[in-house]
Amino acid sequence: MTTKIFKNILITCLCATVIIISLFLVVLYNNFKSETITKLKNDAVYLTAGYKAQGIDYLESIETSDRITLIDESGEVIYDNHANVEKLDDHSDRIEINEAFEDGEGYSERYSDTIGKVSLYYAKAIDNDTVLRISTQASTISALLLGMTSYLFWIIIIVAIIAVLIANHLAKAIVKPINDIDLNKSNIISPYKELSPLFARINEQNYTINKQIKNLNQRKEEFKTMTENMAEGIIVINQKKDVLTYNESAAKLFGAHDISENNSVFQFDHSLKFMEAIDNVVLGQKSEYKLEKDDKVYSLLINPILVNGKPSGATILIIDITAKELQDKLRREFSANVSHELKTPLTSISGFAEIMKNGLVDPEDVKDIAGNIYDEAKRLIVLIDDIIRLSRLDNSDVDVKKESVDLKALAIEVIAHLKNAAKQKHIAVSCEGYATVNGVPYLLEEVIQNLIDNAIKYGKDDGYVKVSLCEKDNEAIIKVEDNGIGIASSDLDRIFERFYRSDKSHSKAIGGTGLGLSIVKHAVEYHNGKIEVESKLNEGSTFVIRLPK
């Protein structure tokens, strides 16, 4: 704009200068011309007087650059100081001569064939028969003007420089108030009256835009508040793959930092799979895939946002499915283990039954074989019982009624049940301390029963099992200690897994199912408690359970 104004002002100044100079030259020319004619007139007066007094001799005595001519009534040239009169043609057709014969004087300006230049002519009648004409070359005027050319040139240069400076200053001065306007202001006052309608329109549009931005920000805030507390990550992008909004969970799940909105979505992840999915979604194709990152598994649901059927962005939903994946894995392992564990006793039972059916058993062995079948069947029942209990816990299908449970009374009851097993191995089982907890009685009984049962099962003959109870820091603590076979440190992390037994051959002889500690863990977690174990091979094990009161 500044350049345009500058150019216009400069052109105006230069045009004005050229017009003024041209007009000045025209005026000067006319002025000079009228002065020349006046001079010719004055010269004609004294030449006429001289001619009248002395005749042609007077005219011949005059030294002048002007042309003096005498013409008679018939148009014939009698005297000419610049040309041979015999060579001159009839002058009766000359305007100035005719006018002089008619009105006493005449004037004209034209090209002269005699001298080959434009001339100014003035003719004056001396008497009725003769006219004296005096003429001067127009080039004299042009020469005067030409002489002024160099001055005019410098005048134009100086005017041009001044015009550039003025135009520059004016252009800046005109544009400055417009540049100084703060377009973010709600009510802009026009610096020029002529621009008022434009600024009124801008103010109107600013108001509408601000209102819409406010609405959008409000919606964005609402969306943020809604999504901020979600465990799932959400990212919304536009068609240019730039982030419009996202929640903190999204950044956290991707492990991304310093995410800035209106920047590429690949700030979150630049894996090939993610880039491919984003490229597809902007074309309108939804996709879903699993992303494994730092021991976690996420499900990514990438859906296009369609406006009037056309993709105009996308939403990316990130769900942490690590727990679900682990559960699925455990469930698959559990099913495989259950089938295996059930098949083993059943194969034994079916084998024994088959040899009995085929009469291949001596009568005295029948008792032993029946005993084997009985033992295997019992093992099956225990196993199925454990599986049922575990699946009930899995489905949280427990009697949720919690009550105050006297753990001491529970432990004494369990010890009484296991009295015979302990007696067989000469294991001294003791219980000291006291604790109560708000919980589900039969689940807590399972916990104590499994721990003491294991301590006796994996205890050494003539050993001990110490059960101690206490309450500390608003927790009920159950400690079951034995000096049995202990657990290898490599197995400690795995003993709570379903069907895991640290020493398969040994455990089989002892007759466990590998589900006891899983049930304990589940029951403890159901009470929001924690379980810890310390053990040394051949020295013994200590299980500590902390239950919040």
Residues in contact with ligand ADP by CB under 6 A are 450, 454-455, 458, 482, 484-487, 495, 500-503, 507, 512-518, 541
Q: Rounded to 5 degrees, what angle do the CA atoms 61, 62, 67 make?
A: 125
Residues 6+ apart with CB under 8 A from 269: 254, 256, 291
Q: How far is the CB of 490 from ligand ADP (least distance, A)?
A: 12
Q: How far is the CB of 548 from ligand ADP (least distance, A)?
A: 24
Q: Minimum CB separation from ligand ADP for residue 505, in Å?
A: 11
Min dist. Cβ of residue 396 to ligand ADP (A): 21
CA 310 distance to own-chain centroid:
21
Nearest-5° angle of CA 272, CA 278, CA 279? Answer: 85
Residue 137 vs 449, nearer CB to ligand ADP:
449
Q: Is 106 or 516 the residue whose CB approaches ligand ADP more closely?
A: 516
Could you tell me which of 298, 306, 314 has the C-alpha nearest to residue 235?
Answer: 314
Would you say 208 or 391 has its CB closer to ligand ADP? Answer: 391
CA dihedral 36, 41, 46, 51 (to 10 degrees): 110
Nearer to ligand ADP, 117 or 419 (CB): 419
Residue 402 and residue 439 in contact, taking contact as beta carbons nearer than 8 Å: yes
Nearest alpha carbon to residue 421 among 502, 499, 511, 341: 511
Pairing of strands 428-433, 464-472: parallel
Helices marked H in 247-362: 248-254, 272-281, 322-357
Spell out the long-range contacts of 525-533 with Cβ–Cβ below 8 A and sequence spacing 24 or more.
526/393, 526/396, 526/398, 526/440, 526/443, 527/437, 527/439, 527/440, 527/443, 527/444, 531/496, 533/487, 533/492, 533/495
Residues 431 and 396 sit within 8 Å (Cβ to Cβ): no
Q: Which CB atom, from 304 or from 540, has the smaller least distance to ligand ADP?
A: 540
CB of 305 to ligand ADP, least distance (A): 51
Shortest distance in whole angstroms from residue 513 CB to ligand ADP:
4
Q: Do residues 524 and 530 touch, judged by C-beta distance below 8 A?
A: yes
To ligand ADP, the closest distance from the beta carbon of 407 in angstroms equals: 19
Residue nearest to ligand ADP as judged by C-beta position = 512
* Least Cβ distance, residue 455 to ligand ADP (angstroms): 5
Residue whose CB is less far from ligand ADP, 476 or 519: 519
Query: In the complex with ligand ADP, which residue's Cβ is closer, 119 or 513?
Result: 513
- Is the separation of the CB atoms in 536 and 491 below 8 Å? no
Closest distance between ligand ADP and the C-beta of residue 326, in Å? 19
Is the distance from CB of 470 to CB of 544 less than 8 angstroms?
no
Angle at 209 between CA 205 and CA 214, to 5 degrees: 150
Q: Smallest distance from the beta carbon of 320 to ligand ADP, in angstroms?
A: 29
3-class SS of residue 406: strand
CB atoms within 10 A of CB 524: 22
Shortest Cβ 486–ligand ADP spacing (Å): 6
Minimum separation from the CB atom of position 349 to ligand ADP (A): 20
Q: What is the 3-state secondary structure (H, E, C) of 71-128?
A: EECCCCEEEECCCCHHHCCCCCCCHHHHHHHHHCEEEEEEEECCCCEEEEEEEEECCC
Task: Tell me the residue type at 135.
Answer: S
Residue nearer to ligand ADP on the CB measure, 267 or 454: 454
Contact indicator for 300, 316 with CB cutoff of 8 Å: yes
Give the strands of the sheet with 464-472, arranged side by side: 428-433, 464-472, 475-482, 540-548, 530-536
Give the nearer residue to ligand ADP in terms of CB position, either 196 or 335: 335
List, in sequence order, every beta strand (DSSP E) within 448-526.
464-472, 475-482
Nearer to ligand ADP, 316 or 485 (CB): 485
Work out how close the CB of 541 gets to ligand ADP at its nearest, in angstroms, rounded to a whole number.
4
247 vs 454, which CB is nearer to ligand ADP? 454
- Cβ proximity to ligand ADP, 9 vs 427, nearer residue: 427
Give the contacts of 488 (CB within 8 A, at least 6 positions apart).
502, 537
> Between residues 360 and 509, which has the closer beta carbon with respect to ligand ADP?
509
